[in-house]
Amino acid sequence: MAQPIIEIKNLIKKFGDRTVLDGVHAVIPEGKITVIMGGSGCGKSTLLRHLIGLHRPTSGEVWVDGKNIAGLDEPGMNDVRKKFGMLFQGSALFNSMTVGENVAVPLKEHTDLSPEIIRIIVRVKLELVGLTGFENFMPHEISGGMKKRVALARAIALDPKIVFYDEPGAGLDPITASMIDRLILDLSKKLSITSVVVTHEMKSAFRIADQIIILQKGKVLQVGTAEDIQNSTNAYVQQFIQGEPEGAIPFKQTSEAYLKGLLDT
């Protein structure tokens, strides 16, 4: 495996007295695509938010590019963040700006490039995600899939070393979703960008992943290549990739437990 660019050591996060991440250990290799999977509410987005410094760990360490970001102050964190791009679950485009202005925001804020050069870069980035000619549209005038692609163009505007994707394919038709997968692969292979992708889509995960991390209840259940995961003997992992409602994790509680639960309250 390549050099690790991110190392998570015994990461614990509590919201109040609820433990959401319960001692996560993980290594993310440089220049590869790592996919994080797991059931809804198992803490995937929370883990991602720790990697970009939006949450501070309750305890544990997060090493990004040689720095423990758990101990960094805001200015230090901002230096690390300039190497990141992040694609949010809901795109998070700025609704009062046009598509072009959205992509230009990081360029205007963090470089001293002239407006003409910025305009050219914006056009190149939009071309890269297949949205040539959409500079002057407002976010509410384009579809959800197009918003995701604009958000991706914005995320890679500064040529980051690492791009994080929170459910890039969620809510998209299969063709658009596989197009986004294609983009992720292209970025990773051609520009050797490290990608960390949170997803539910089994097919897309197996298509793009160099490494898959499966989370369950705030812990890492299994790590391996797509093949390792497909051949896993772990009952939960099998149930998860087959997408079966019955199995190691029951969809319903047993009827006794259910009855007891009803009567208890």
Partner 1 sequence: MKETCGKVGRTTFLLLAGIARIWELGSEVGRFFLTSFVRPKTIPRETFFRQMVLIGIDSTAIVSLVGAAVGTVLALQAAYSLKTFGAVMYTGSLVGVAMARELGPLIAAIVICGRIGARMAAELGTMRVQEEVDALTTMAINPVRFLVLPRVLALAIMLPCLSVIADVMGMLGGYLIGITGLGINSYVYISKTIDALVLKDIYTGLAKSFIFSILIALVSCHQGLTVSGGADAVGKATTQAVVISIVLIIVVDCLATAVIYYALPT
Ligand X SMILES: Nc1ncnc2c1ncn2[C@@H]1O[C@H](COP(=O)(O)OP(=O)(O)OP(=O)(O)O)[C@@H](O)[C@H]1O
Cβ at position 263, least distance to ligand X in Å:
25
Task: Indicate which single residue of 3, 96, 254, 255 sits in contact with partner 1 (rule: CB under 8 A).
Answer: 96
**Helices 115-128 and 99-110, axial angle in degrees (round to 10):** 130
- State whether the Cα torsion 59-63-68-73 is positive or negative: negative
Q: Among 22, 61, 65, 101, which residue interacts with partner 1 (rule: CB under 8 A)?
A: 101
The single-letter code of the amino acid at 106 is P
Rounded least distance, CB 45 to Mg ion, Å: 3
Q: Which is nearer to ligand X, 44 or 149 (CB)?
A: 44
Q: Which listed option, partner 1, ligand X, Mg ion, none, makes contact with residue 96 (CB within 5 to 8 Å by class)? A: partner 1
Give helix 144-155 / helix 174-191 axis angle, nearest 10°.
10
Question: For residue 162, which amino acid is it?
Answer: I
Query: By CB under 6 A, is residue 20 in contact with ligand X?
Result: yes
Total site size for ligand X, rule CB under 6 A: 10
Binding region for partner 1 (CB under 8 A) out of 102-110, 119-127, 198-206, 248-256: 102-110
Q: Choosing among ligand X, partner 1, Mg ion, none, which partner's interface includes residue 101 (Cβ < 5 to 8 Å by kind)? A: partner 1
Residues 34-63 that bind ligand X (CB under 6 A): 38, 40-46
Binding site for ligand X (CB under 6 A): 15, 20, 38, 40-46
Binding site for partner 1 (CB under 8 A): 52-54, 78-79, 81-82, 84, 86, 88-90, 92-96, 101, 105-106, 109-110
Binding site for Mg ion (CB under 5 A): 45
